[in-house]
């Protein structure tokens, strides 16, 4: 297969172009927002996302991977509207976040795979927009029994469909390594795995342990300086490029246009004051220049923004 699933249908891999590989357009709890009409301002959120994506498009971005898992409120109708209005390709995810939910206990792995596979094969929420990536996550608790189950769901979805896996990790607990162990155990070709949030780490030993397994690592939290400052993120990428790893890194912000983990006014204050660069334009507008100043070649930058996303997103079958 040479096509990539987007929320508006499939595109040729050559159409991807400059791709932000881990972002969030709309992150809001399904139950709360369906019960309370004022839980989040959906229209304002969509308008904000369209504005941010148009700004990134003006700087050269042509595609965006929305890594929002189903149970953080992934809503394909919103993603479709944002993609249509911004004229940026949006790749949606299927898969589940790490938080344990009561129903997860008694569902066997393969039954969950059968359910989620519908997002990839039939389309999401009754639309022709199919998932182009599988999301899973391991946080500070590491690979708990419940988390292991969800990682195996992601692995088997990949084996059944060929579409790649992208993850959330906690670098302090080096949880990418635990994820890799499970994927290897399931027989996943690690060329089709992106270990997310690796760019929060300055631990070159940890990063090279993962790179040596052939995964791609997400240097995907530019703008979140409270996790790691921009210049440190740039110098880690520069050192890894010098060591020959440019073909296994992708860039992004993990930015959220709407996020209900905080009340709206708190989130707006954080976005504007604490993390003012945490938006879809920082990488194309400023980080690329910093990578050039750090001596990273144009070919290496193009690999991280264009070539690696295309290779990663191309289904394995």
Which residues bind to Zn ion, rule: CB under 5 A? 67, 254
d(CA 4, CA 276) in angstroms, rounded, equals: 32
Cα angle 246-247-250, degrees, rounded to a multiple of 5: 80
Helix, strand, coil shares, percent, the chain, to 5: 50, 15, 30
Comparison of 75 and 254: residue with beta carbon closer to Zn ion = 254
Please state the closest distance from residue 196 (CB atom) to Zn ion, in A.
7
Q: Token digits for 4? A: 């990539």
Whether 171 and 201 have beta carbons less than 8 Å apart is answered as yes
Comparison of 148 and 254: residue with beta carbon closer to Zn ion = 254
d(CA 285, CA 158) in angstroms, rounded, equals: 33
Q: Of 3, 82, 71, give the one whose Cα is nearest residue 280.
A: 82
Comparison of 82 and 296: residue with beta carbon closer to Zn ion = 82
Comparison of 131 and 241: residue with beta carbon closer to Zn ion = 131
Comparison of 170 and 254: residue with beta carbon closer to Zn ion = 254
Please state the closest distance from residue 280 (CB atom) to Zn ion, in A.
13
Please state the closest distance from residue 49 (CB atom) to Zn ion, in A.
15
Q: If DSSP codes are grouped into helix, strand and coil, which group holds residue 148?
A: helix
Please state the closest distance from residue 237 (CB atom) to Zn ion, in A.
19
Please state the closest distance from residue 308 (CB atom) to Zn ion, in A.
18
Comparison of 254 and 260: residue with beta carbon closer to Zn ion = 254
d(CA 246, CA 297) in angstroms, rounded, equals: 10
Please state the closest distance from residue 253 (CB atom) to Zn ion, in A.
9
The string of DSSP letters for 151-175 reads: HHHHHHHHHHH---EEEE--GGGTH
Comparison of 67 and 217: residue with beta carbon closer to Zn ion = 67
Residue closest to Zn ion (Cβ):
254
Please state the closest distance from residue 116 (CB atom) to Zn ion, in A.
18
In sequence order, what are the residues at sequence separation of 6 or more whose Cβ sits closer than 8 angstroms to the Cβ of residue 53? 25, 61, 64, 82, 86, 88, 280
Number of neighbours of residue 9 by Cβ within 10 angstroms: 13
């Amino acid at each position: 297969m040479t096509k990539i699933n987007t929320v508006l249908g499939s595109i040729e891999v050559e159409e991807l172009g400059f791709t932000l590989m881990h972002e969030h357009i709309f992150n809001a709890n399904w139950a709360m927002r369906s019960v309370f009409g004022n839980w989040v301002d959906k229209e304002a959120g969509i308008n904000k996302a369209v504005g941010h994506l148009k700004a990134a498009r003006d700087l050269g971005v042509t595609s965006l991977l929305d890594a929002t898992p189903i149970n953080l409120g992934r809503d394909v109708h919103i993603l479709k509207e944002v993609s249509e209005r911004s004229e940026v390709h949006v790749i949606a995810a299927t898969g589940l976040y790490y938080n344990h939910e009561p129903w997860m206990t008694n569902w066997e792995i393969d039954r969950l795979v059968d359910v989620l596979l519908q997002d990839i094969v039939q389309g999401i929420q009754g639309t022709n927009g199919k998932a182009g990536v599988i999301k899973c996550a391991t946080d500070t608790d590491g690979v708990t029994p419940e988390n292991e189950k969800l990682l195996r769901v992601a692995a088997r979805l990949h084996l059944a469909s060929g579409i790649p896996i992208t993850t959330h990790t906690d670098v302090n607990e080096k949880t990418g390594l635990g994820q890799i162990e499970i994927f290897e155990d399931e027989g996943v070709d690690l060329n089709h795995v992106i270990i997310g949030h690796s760019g929060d780490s300055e631990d070159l030993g940890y990063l090279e342990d993962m790179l040596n397994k052939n995964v791609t690592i997400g240097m995907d939290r530019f703008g979140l300086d409270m996790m790691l400052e921009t210049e440190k993120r740039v110098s880690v990428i520069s050192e890894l490029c010098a060591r020959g790893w440019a073909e296994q890194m992708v860039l992004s912000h993990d930015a959220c246009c709407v996020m209900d983990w905080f009340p709206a006014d708190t989130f707006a204050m954080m976005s504007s004051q604490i993390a003012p660069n945490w938006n879809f334009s920082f990488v194309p507008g400023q980080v690329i220049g910093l990578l050039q100043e750090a001596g990273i070649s144009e070919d290496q930058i193009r690999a991280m923004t264009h070539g690696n996303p295309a290779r990663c997103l191309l289904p394995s079958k």
